[in-house]
Amino acid sequence: MRRPPIPGIVLADSWLAPYEHVIKMRLKLYDGRMEELARKFGSLEEAARGYERMGIVRDADTGEWTYREWAPGARGLWLIGDFNGWNREATPLQPDAAGMWSVRLPANALHHDDRVKVHVLGADMQRHDRIPAWIRYTRQDPQTFDYSGVVWDPPKPYRWKNKRWTPARVREPIIYEAHVGMAGEEPKLHSYAEFTDNVLPRIAALGYNTVQLMAVQEHPYYGSFGYHVSSFFAPSSRFGTPDELKRLIDTAHGLGLAVLLDVVHSHAVKNMAEGLNNFDGSGGQYFHAGKRDATHPDWDSCLFDYGREEVQIFLLSNLRWWLEEFRFDGFRFDGVTSMLYLHHGHEAFNNLGRYYDDQVNGDAITYLQLATTLIQRVRPGAIIVAEDMSGMPGMCRPVDEGGLGFTHRLAMGLPDYWIKLIKEKKDEEWSMGDMWYTLINRRYGEPNIAYAESHDQALVGDKTIAFRLMDAEMYTHMACDKPSLIIDRGIALHKMIRLVTLAAGGEGWLNFMGNEFGHPEWIDFPRDGNGYSYQYCRRQWSLVDSPLLRYRFLNAFDAAMLRLAKETEWLGSAPARPLNMDEMNHVMAFERGGLIFVFAWGGEQALSNYRLPAPEAGEWEVALDSDAAEFGGFGRQDAAVHHVTDEDGCISVYLLPRTAIVLRRVSQSRPCHLPPM
C-alpha cells in the first residue's frame, strides 16, 4: 500500500516530527501484518473468523462435530465430557505440523448443554483437565465449584426482534457503565433477564444513549469485577445464558441504546483450571514465557504475546465474535496503557519521546491497529473507547494517519482530580484556574469521554463523590424533611461537579450505575473478608424511587442535564472557551455549543448583577438551574427573568452560592465582540 510521505498525525502536530520515523515504522509493521493475513486468509475480516474453525463447531450441512485446539507444545489431547463418560482416553485428538489438534465426531455424539473439557498431556509431561480455549459457554458446579465447558447449540436459537442496529445513530456517546450482577437491590447475584426488564428502562428514561456492560466475559472470581477473564468467548454463566444476554442487547436496541462490551485483552487470569495459562505445558503459548512480561506486576495475571500470529487470530476473532454473534456496538478496551508499554504505565510520561522509545510494545501497537480496523469494517460506526492514562498521541486518530484507530479515550485524569480536590481542600480553596486547566487539558481532535467518577472510585477502600461530600450524614439526613447543611452542600456540589465535567471535559460522557443519584457507600464484592456478603454489591433503587428522600433530586438533575446536552449537541461542538475565571469570587464561566455555563463555587454569599461577557448579543434565558426546587435546590433563581446584553456585549446575572446556571440565547439584538482570548 502506498502511503503519503508524511503521516497524517505528524502533519496535524508538528511536535511529532522528530518521531516521524517511528510512526512510519509502526505503519510498515501494520501494513506487513495486513498483507500476511490477506495472503493466508484472504483478508483481515476472514482471519478474524477463527471461531468458525476453532473450538467445538458443528457442520451446518452434515451435523457432524469438529473440535480443534491450538496446542503446539502438547504431547497429547483428549476430548472428555458427558458424551463419553469423562473417559480420558476415549476421544483423542490428532495434531498437524503447526500444532493444531483436531477430532471429528458424528452428529449424535454431542448434544446441547453437554459438559466438556479437554485432557492435556503438556510439554512438561504434566496432565491437566482444561476448558477448551474457544468454548462459548461454561458452567460452575454449585457443589464442587468446578467449571466445565458447555456445548451451546440450542434447538431453537434466539430470534432477534430488532433489525440490525446502527451504532452510528449515537453521535456523541452518553454512556451508562453497568454491572449486571450487582444491578438489583436484593443481596444476591442478579441476572441478564432482571437487568433487561428492570434496569434498561431506567437508563433509557434518564437520557443515556449507550450502555457499557462490565464483567460479561467469563471470569472465575466474581470479585475481580470481570477483569480476570478465563473464557474469552463465553458470556458469564453466573448471570444467565447466552440467549438471555442476546435478549438484553436486543431490548436495548429497541430502546435506542447502543451496547458496548468492556473487553479485556490486556491480560488473562492465571488460573489453570479455568483459563489459558500454560495450556500446552510449554510455559508460554498465548502468553510470554520467562520472566519478561510473563505476568503483570500489579494484577497477578498473564500477559498476551501480541506478536504471535495465533494469539492475534484468537483476539481478533474474539472481537468479531462479540460483534457478530451478540451484536455489540463496540468496545471499551480495558488496560490499554498496560498493553502499550513494557513498563505498563509505571514510568512518567514527561516528554513526547516516552511514547516512541524502546519501552513501547510494538506488537501491542500493531495488534490494536488491527483490532480497531477490524471493528470498524465489521461494524461501521462502532464506538471504540481506550482506557489509556498515558496520553499516547494518535490514540483516537485513524490508523492510516499513523494513529491507533480508537474513536474515544477515557479522560482518566478528571475523576482523579475531583477525588483529590475533595479530599485535600475545602471548596472555598478550590482554584478556578486549576479546575479549568484540568477540564480542558486534552489532545483536541481526539475525542474524550469525560466522567467525574466510574466504578473505580466506588470500590471498597475508596468513596464516591457523594459519599465523600456527605459521608455518614447520608444515613440520617437524606430525608426531605430533615434539614442538614452537610447534605445541602453535598447535593449542590454533586450537581455542579457533574455538570462542569460534562460541559467542558470531553466529547462524550460516562456515569457508573447509581452515581447519577448519589448512591451511598462503596462496592464490596462477596469475599472471605466480609463473610461473602452481598450487602455492598447491589444498587438500592428504592432510594431514588422514594418521594421522601433527596436522591430523586439528583436523579432528576442528571436527566435534565443530559436532555439539554442532547438537545443542544454541545458534546459535538468546539471545545469550551473561557468567559470569566474569577478566583476572588470563585466564579467560573465559559461558552460551549452556543450556551453560557456559569458556576458559583463559593459558599458564602450571593453575587447580584454579576457581569459576564456574552459570546453573542441578544436575549438569554435560563435553560438549566441547579438550584431549582425540582433538583433539591431552594428555587431562588427566577427562571422568567431574561438577560439582555448591554452596549459592552455583557450580561448581568444573579449568582447564588454553590449553584450553576446554563443560559441559552433566545433572540438577536446587536453585534457583539468578545475580547481576544
CA distance 673 to 509: 31
Residue 186 carries which DSSP code? S
Assign 3-class secondary structure to 242-306: HHHHHHHHHHHHHCCCEEEEEECCCCECCCCCCCCCCCCCCCCCCECCCCCCCECCCCCCECECC
User: What sign has the CA pseudo-torsion 341, 344, 347, 351?
Assistant: positive
Residue 587 carries which DSSP code? E
CA distance 180 to 191: 6
How many residues are given for the chain? 677
CA distance 327 to 243: 12
Catalytic (active site) residue 310: no
CA distance 420 to 509: 20
372 touches 330 (CB < 8 A): no
| Residue in 172, 177, 218, 334 annotated catalytic | 334
633 touches 627 (CB < 8 A): yes
DSSP for 511-559, written as a single string = EETTGGGT--S-B--S-GGGTS--TTSS--HHHHH-TTBTHHHHHHHHH
Residue 93 carries which DSSP code? -
Maximum Cα–Cα distance across the chain: 91
| Residue in 69, 329, 387, 558 annotated catalytic | 387
Task: Look at residue 55 and give its three-state secondary structure.
Answer: strand
Catalytic (active site) residue 177: no
Task: Cite the active site residues.
Answer: 334, 387
